[in-house]
């Protein structure tokens, strides 16, 4: 597979990240119909003591919880997509420890496209929490598509 055909998708288990994954599956199928080798890399990040999208378990097995969240999101997105070629889209996974924006930037170094969801923090929440999607739009080495919750 050519790295230039890879679509990196940030997934945290939120509805907008699942919608981003659904959208990316459709795009990968379109690319595959004209160019061989399109694939998706679904990426999630965990950062102690914070997690993105899912409460962390008391057991402290954060990587396993992040991987489980990612697997569930992929299953949900696959079930929602039934168009031509979409079943054949290869999806690999990556679970990283660290800030989500940094992990996603690293994974997108040779990607054709990056897709992320936006949970729509507003006002003070956006100013205090920052925005992974905004960070990626400004720093990504490839085009970034931001899917707003409910807009897919």
The reply to whether 63 falls in a domain is yes
9 near 38, Cβ under 8 Å?
A: no
The reply to whether 124 falls in a domain is no
Count of structural domains, the chain:
1
The reply to whether 96 falls in a domain is yes
> Sorting pLDDT into bands at 50, 70 and 90, what band is 130?
low
* Mean of pLDDT values over 98-123: 87
The reply to whether 127 falls in a domain is no
Tens-digit pLDDT profile for residues 133-149: 889 999 999 999 999 87
Three-state DSSP class for 119?
A: coil
In this structure, what CATH number is given to the domain that contains residue 43? 3.40.50.620
Distance CA 8, CA 10 (A): 7
Q: Is the pLDDT of residue 129 over 60?
A: no
Q: What is the mean pLDDT of the chain?
A: 83
Tens-digit pLDDT profile for residues 23-39: 999 999 988 888 777 89
The reply to whether 40 falls in a domain is yes
- pLDDT of 2: 45
Q: Is the pLDDT of residue 18 over 70?
A: yes
The reply to whether 126 falls in a domain is no
Indicate whether this model's pTM tops 0.85: no
The reply to whether 131 falls in a domain is no
Distance CA 39, CA 4 (A): 10
Q: Which of 60-64, 68-72, 117-121 shows the lowest per-residue confidence on average (mean pLDDT)? A: 117-121
The reply to whether 134 falls in a domain is no
Residue 10 is part of which domain span?
A: 3-111+141-148
């Amino acid at each position: 597979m050519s790295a230039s055909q890879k679509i990196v998708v940030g997934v945290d288990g939120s509805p907008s990240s699942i919608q981003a994954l659904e959208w990316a599956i459709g795009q990968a199928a379109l690319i595959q119909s004209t160019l061989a080798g399109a694939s998706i890399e679904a990426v999630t990040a965990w950062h102690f003591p914070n997690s993105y999208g899912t409460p962390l378990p008391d057991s402290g097995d954060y990587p396993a919880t992040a991987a489980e969240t990612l697997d569930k999101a992929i299953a949900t997105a696959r079930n929602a997509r039934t168009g031509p070629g979409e079943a054949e889209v290869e999806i690999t996974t990556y679970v990283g420890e660290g800030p989500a924006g940094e992990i996603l930037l690293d994974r997108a170094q040779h990607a054709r496209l990056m897709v992320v969801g936006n949970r729509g923090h507003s006002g003070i929440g956006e100013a205090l929490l920052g925005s992974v999607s905004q960070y990626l739009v400004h720093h990504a080495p490839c085009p970034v598509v931001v899917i707003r919750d409910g807009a897919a």
